[in-house]
Amino acid sequence: MTDMRTRVAEYDARPLVAWAVEWHSRNQLDGDRRYLMWQPEPGPGAFRLFRTRRECRSYIESRYGYICGREDLRAEPHGWRMPRAVRVRVER
């Protein structure tokens, strides 16, 4: 019975609800673009997920906070906006 419990504990089929960073830009060339940010920190091609919205917003502020003060990046042709914390649901 313990062998079965360890196998069940290894595979948790419940969906994971977490917070992720959503990139947001708007310009005349591409229009309104939004997508989840891929981060190289955990491994190549991995999403950076957070348990709470507060953690996610803190990460956005520390990593992308410079966008607020850069009018050249917010204007055309870039049209960058501050990334947003969005709730995501990850399923296997």
| pLDDT score of 8 | 55
Strands (E), 1-92: 16-27, 31-36, 38-39, 46-47, 49-50, 80-90
**Annotated domain spans of the chain:** 16-90
| pLDDT score of 37 | 85
Q: Are 37 and 25 in contact (CB under 8 A)?
A: no
| pLDDT score of 54 | 96
| pLDDT tens, residue by residue, 9-29 | 566 677 889 999 999 888 888
Query: Which bin fits 55, alpha (ψ -120 to 50), beta or left (φ > 0)?
Result: alpha
Tally of CA atoms within 13 A in the half-sphere of 63 that contains its CB: 16
- Which positions ≥6 away from 18 have C-beta within 8 Å? 49, 50, 51, 87, 88, 90
